[in-house]
A and B are shown apart, each in its own frame.
Chain A
Amino acid sequence: MKGLFNALIGIPTVALGLYLYLLLSRSGPLGYFQLLYTPYAIIVGQCVLVTPIIVSFTTSALESVDPEVRTLARTLGASGLQTDAVVLREAFWGVVLAVLAAFNRAFAELGVAMMLGGNIRNVTRVLTTAIALQTAMGEIALSIALSIILLGIVLSLSIIVSLARRPSR
């Protein structure tokens, strides 16, 4: 199962966007919900896109916890739920990194947002689709400014997580 999610991490966003477009379009199986070209379509698409990343990275983080932690917790009187909680706590930073990687992937991708959102001004336009549009329109300066904002947000979050992680190590 983990292998499947690992494989899905690398799925091209354009391909995913296309399949979801077919699903959500008016004549598609989920057309009834009329989600296409709404922010909800982008949310659905990004959730599908990042699920393999979260599952795969979180599984790896949980697997990296010493299996004896579970045994230790039980000898200290932990219930099944408390044992799971302590394993999750031990994998905390791995889970945070999984969420961060998923956020960065969703935040910085173009294909799904463009195909499912339609890049409608004030409705479904996001940073990446705005950059693509402005570049196509020859507004290179604006594109560069927007890309700096995009990079700034992604890098800032990564730096914040790195700094927060350091004292606990």
Chain B
Amino acid sequence: MIQLFNVCKAYQRGQNALNDVTLKVDKGEFVYLTGPSGAGKSTLLKLLYCAERPTRGQILVNGRNITRYGPSRIPYLRRNLGIIFQDFKLLKRRTVFENVAFPLEVLGRKRFEISKKVYQTLKNVGLEHRLQHHPLQLSGGEQQRVAVARALVVDPLILLADEPTGNLDPEVTLDIMELFKRANARGTTIVMATHDRGLIRQFPRRIVSLDAGSLATDDLPLFRGEAGMSGYSGMTGQP
């Protein structure tokens, strides 16, 4: 589903954000991108949704080389992706319903179809009673659930999440992870950047670790079944 070949990304300051990263993520996989701040997690995700261009190397998404995608093709790539940010990036002047409906409006879906799909998706994230609220009337966890609903409403092939639980308390983090697990179970490939080791222990999946822009480790889950959902403390620690 996702392939990176010798990908480098250098910013103007001269330091490489990514160094010769080669990586393969299969369809339906759930991969954690982890590493300390500045390791290149966000840069890698940005390369996948074409917010940044690689300085060198090739990137294939769903079998297509997106490295040299022109501006006119990028929106069509993003329509197959769900993107979630730490700061939610919701439209503050729009209601919850309108926020989630927006990607479907972009796709030009009919109004009836949009209403039905949005309601269904918001029900899945447990926010069907908040349809007419504005984002700032919601808690952080609820806002992130709206962001998840917005990402999932188009049934994306790939979900890219950049520290989606970074601003949330442990309980809400569990809710969000449950939503990710369900999406993954339905076949959505998930790449999630996080430096929360506790979370990774809680929901063990493949871990791709970056350090100073280079691929440090690429491990299969070591902690599967080690701790139940109730045991998640939200603390960051070493495995």
> Are A and B subunits of one complex?
no
B residues touching A (Cβ–Cβ < 8 Å)? none
A residues touching B (Cβ–Cβ < 8 Å)? none
